[in-house]
Amino acid sequence: MDVRVFQPMKNAHQRILRRALRKGNISFSRLDFVKGLQEMIDRGFTRKNIISGFKKSGIFPPNPDPALAFLLKQQMKAKKAVNPAFASLLPSETRFQRASDTAKRVTEEYFDIFSSPTRAGLLEVRKVVTEAVLLEETVTMYVDDRRSRIEKRYNQMKRGKRAKPVGDYRHNVSLQELRDQQAEVIAARDPNNST
């Protein structure tokens, strides 16, 4: 809508600015803008420009097809259910621990049968799997810690504990301070009344 309808108005504004610059006016003030506003509206919002913009956007003649197609597309995106097969494609949370257990069991049962390069490879696999288990635990602890810190910070901000008055401006004034201030104002107005 902006490009189709308001672009001619922007072009008219540019013409007025260029004309002012050609005349030697380096600054274009608010008053100059207001003076040129009617010309911008007259040139930008001609019947032809408005109708062509509305036709291109599907508003005139009334054609609901572009709007309905867009809404249907948005609704279809929202209605797409998560495919249950996706959950089965995700790796198991215990995959590293199972791999570690399997490597340990294979080492215990078949270590003597394997050749020395295979034994070295199996030991390397056990090291890598152990490292993966430790990394997963570290990442899980880090994520949990971060989540708890974010929640704590959110709750602090929510309670308003972090808001502090800055400078001389004070947010909280006690009732006694208001009474004292009112008494000072009354005393300043009425010098005869001494209380």
Task: Report the domain count for the chain.
Answer: 2
- Tell me the mean pLDDT in the region 83-107: 83
Read off the pLDDT of each residue in 110-116 and give the average, rounded to a whole number: 88
Q: Are residues 96 and 40 in the same domain?
A: no
Supply the pLDDT for residue 65: 77
Last residue of a domain, one of 64, 79, 99: 64
What pLDDT, on the 0 to 100 scale, is given for residue 86?
73
Report which of 44, 6, 39, 46 is spatially closest to residue 20, judged by C-alpha positions: 39
CA 37/CA 30 separation, integer angstroms: 10
Predicted local confidence at residue 124, as pLDDT: 93
Residue 52 and residue 108 in one domain:
no
pLDDT in tens, 138-188: 999 999 999 999 888 877 766 555 545 555 555 556 677 778 888 888 888
CA triple 61-67-71, angle to 5 deg: 165
pTM: 0.35
Residue 184 lies in a domain: no
Query: Looking at the domain assignment, is residue 77 inside a domain?
Result: no
State the Cα angle at 56 between 53 and 58, rounded to 5°: 105
Cis peptide before 91 (omega within 30 of 0): no
**pLDDT at res. 193:** 61
CB atoms within 10 A of CB 49: 19
Q: Which amino acid is at 143?
A: V
pLDDT tens-digit profile of 169-180? 555 566 777 788
Nearest residue to 172 via CA among 164, 184, 180, 162: 164
Identify whether residues 107 and 54 lie together within a single domain: no
* Cβ neighbours of residue 124 closer than 8 Å, sequence gap 6 or more: none
Residues 96 and 143 in one domain: yes
Mean pLDDT of 69-87: 75
What residues make up the domain containing 144? 91-159
pLDDT tens across 6-55, in order? Answer: 788 888 888 888 888 888 887 878 888 888 888 888 888 888 888 887 77
For 110, the token pair is 């078949």
* Residue 169 domain flag: no
